[in-house]
């Protein structure tokens, strides 16, 4: 009986998974202190600790998101206004594609939420802009729908 118990433990050893841990610390990524305060005021009200990363138009390195494959450094991430700036080729995020990928991978690997506040609808959210002949010739503000067939003067179409 003891041999069977020892063999069972050896077989289960390969199934043991290290626990993933994250602290109760929220990372707020914003363009400036005012934008960061719009995201942090609710956290302050509940005593939730946070760390702010201010991103200038030239970009900045992300803080270390994790210290090992099982230890994350943040329990959640809030990005305000995509940290977007007006560049010669339009409004774009000051975060690089590689940095966004790092944030998405961290979210998946550590099971934390990535919240994006004050974001213009677009392809990242399953939204596509309607051509002028399907919409209005001047900008309009209309509600979004989850039904692609139901659009009357909608400038955006997509699933939320």
Domain boundaries, the chain: 14-120, 121-160
> What pLDDT was estimated at residue 147?
47
Place of tokens 């392809």: 123
pLDDT at 160: 40
pLDDT in the model for residue 149: 46
Q: What is the pLDDT of residue 135?
A: 59
Residue 111: both structure tokens together: 């099971």
What pLDDT is attached to residue 64?
97
Residues (pLDDT < 70) of the chain are 1-18, 125-126, 129-160
Closest CA to 18 of 94, 147, 91, 110: 110
CA distance 28 to 18: 28
Burial class (CB in 10 A: 0-12, 13-18, 19+), 151: middle
Between vectors from CA 38 to CA 142 and to CA 110, what angle results, nearest 5°? 95
Q: Is 70 left (phi over 0), alpha (psi -120 to 50) or beta?
A: alpha
Q: Which DSSP string corresponds to 17-74?
A: -PPPB--S-EEEEESSHHHHHHHHHHHHHTT--EEEEE--TT--PPPPSBSSSSBBS-
pLDDT of res. 130? 66
The CATH class, in words, for 14-120 is: alpha beta
């Amino acid at each position: 009986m003891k041999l069977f118990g020892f063999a069972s433990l050896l077989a289960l050893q390969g199934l043991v998974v290290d626990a993933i841990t994250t602290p109760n610390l929220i990372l707020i990524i914003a363009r400036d202190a005012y934008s960061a305060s719009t995201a942090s005021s609710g956290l302050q009200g509940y005593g939730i600790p946070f760390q702010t990363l201010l991103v200038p138009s030239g970009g900045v390195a992300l803080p270390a998101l994790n210290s090992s494959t099982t230890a994350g450094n943040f329990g959640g991430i809030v990005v305000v206004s995509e940290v977007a700036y007006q560049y010669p080729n339009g409004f774009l995020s000051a975060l690089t594609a590689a940095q966004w990928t790092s944030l998405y991978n961290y979210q998946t690997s550590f099971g934390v939420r990535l919240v994006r506040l004050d974001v213009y609808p677009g392809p990242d959210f399953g939204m596509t802009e309607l051509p002028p002949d399907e919409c209005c010739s001047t900008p309009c503000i209309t509600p979004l729908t989850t039904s692609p067939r139901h659009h009357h003067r909608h400038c955006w179409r997509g699933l939320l």
